[in-house]
Amino acid sequence: MDEWHVLFNSYSFRYRAIKELLATAAKFARVTYMTATPIEREYILEELRHLPTCEIN
């Protein structure tokens, strides 16, 4: 999922759609969430905080 920071920006007014998207994504063996927009750890959605992160410079 590219540009995953959009999920955070839309969460407050598209809560149900994003929750369903994340539930569907969790059914796959592998999912990659990526963005070039820096995101502070404190702003990552609670549902995604358990995932490992990787920064590429």
Q: Is the pLDDT of residue 43 over 90?
A: no
Residue 30 lies in a domain: yes
Residue 39 lies in a domain: yes
Domain that holds residue 42: 5-48
- Residue 34, helix vs strand vs coil: strand
d(CA 4, CA 45): 10
Residue 57 lies in a domain: no
Give the count of domains, the chain.
Answer: 1
Residue 11 lies in a domain: yes
- Residue 2, helix vs strand vs coil: strand
Outline where 1-57 has alpha helix (H).
Answer: 5-10, 15-25
Average per-residue pLDDT for the chain: 87
pLDDT of residue 6: 84
- Amino acid identity, position 13: F
Residue 53 lies in a domain: no
Q: Please write the tens of the pLDDT for every residue from 4-30.
A: 888 888 888 898 998 999 999 999 999
Residue 13 lies in a domain: yes
